[in-house]
């Protein structure tokens, strides 16, 4: 890891990462809107932006002076969130977001979909050998966090906790996994997944999280509206 990358990790400690994403079937889907969401998050005090796909990352890079956690979702025709690996699944996918301007590349490091430990090790090492970039292994269990560390990841993230058949299925963030990773893995831990309220973010930091990523509760109005409607009922 180069000195510049070490300083980036140090500078992000205790910061909020705001995920600015939308799928093609959602009302806010467009590059221009993703840029505006990122600008709004910056003005609100976000320490970094999480963004998907090269075109969005490139546009945000030109307009927002914040580090970018980049992902490249390769979506199958019939997507199954519990089974399919879509987050930067290949070196080619990683290269696309790297050259678009991502400072950190997030990669699915789970064992779902029939993947083996050697598959994970091979992918993460291939990315590290070919790209001068920080790699964040996104996991759903402690075992996968340890595997990501052994495979050369620079950061681990709880992003996929609850999205594999074998991980805990919760409505709240998986604080237990955050604490397990902090205590067992010698890497910064990004807490992500089902963070809907500020007190949840504070609790994650008290568990030892390096950063916390929040998406839907900030940047997806249809989700926010749904929470109000459910609460009313």
Q: Residue 102 is encoded by which pair of tokens?
A: 């991502």
pTM for the predicted model, two decimal places: 0.96
Domain ranges of the chain: 3-232
Q: Residue 64 is encoded by which pair of tokens?
A: 């927002």
Distance from the first to the final alpha carbon of the chain: 51
CA dihedral 135, 141, 146, 151 (to 10 degrees): -40
Q: How confident is the model at residue 92 (pLDDT cuts 50, 70, 90)?
A: very high
CATH of 3-232, one of 3.40.50.1820, 3.40.50.880, 1.20.58.2030, 3.20.20.70: 3.20.20.70
pLDDT of residue 77: 81
Q: Tens of pLDDT along 133-166?
A: 999 999 999 999 999 999 999 999 999 999 999 9
Torsional sign, CA 96, 102, 104, 110: negative
pLDDT at 80 over 90: no
pLDDT of residue 201: 98
């Amino acid at each position: 890891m180069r000195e510049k990358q070490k300083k980036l990790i140090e500078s992000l400690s205790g910061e909020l990462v705001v995920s600015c994403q939308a799928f093609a079937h959602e009302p806010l889907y467009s590059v221009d809107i993703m840029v505006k969401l990122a600008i709004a998050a910056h003005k609100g005090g976000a320490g970094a932006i999480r963004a998907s796909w090269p075109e969005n990352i490139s546009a945000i890079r030109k307009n927002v002076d914040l580090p970018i956690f980049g992902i490249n979702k390769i979506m199958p025709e019939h997507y199954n969130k519990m089974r399919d690996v879509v987050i930067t699944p290949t070196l080619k996918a990683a290269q696309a977001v790297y050259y678009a301007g991502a400072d950190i590349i997030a990669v699915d490091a789970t064992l779902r979909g029939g993947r083996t430990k050697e598959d994970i090790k091979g992918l993460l090492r291939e990315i590290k050998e070919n790209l001068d970039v920080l790699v964040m292994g996104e996991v759903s269990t402690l075992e996968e966090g340890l595997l990501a560390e052994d495979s050369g990841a620079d950061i681990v993230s709880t992003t996929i906790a609850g999205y594999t058949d074998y991980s805990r299925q919760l409505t709240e963030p998986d604080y237990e996994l955050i604490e397990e990773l902090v205590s067992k893995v010698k890497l910064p831990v990004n807490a992500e997944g089902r963070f809907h309220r500020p007190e949840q973010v504070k609790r994650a930091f008290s568990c030892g999280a390096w950063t916390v990523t929040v998406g839907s509760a900030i940047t997806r109005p249809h989700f926010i509206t749904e929470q109000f409607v459910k609460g009313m009922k």
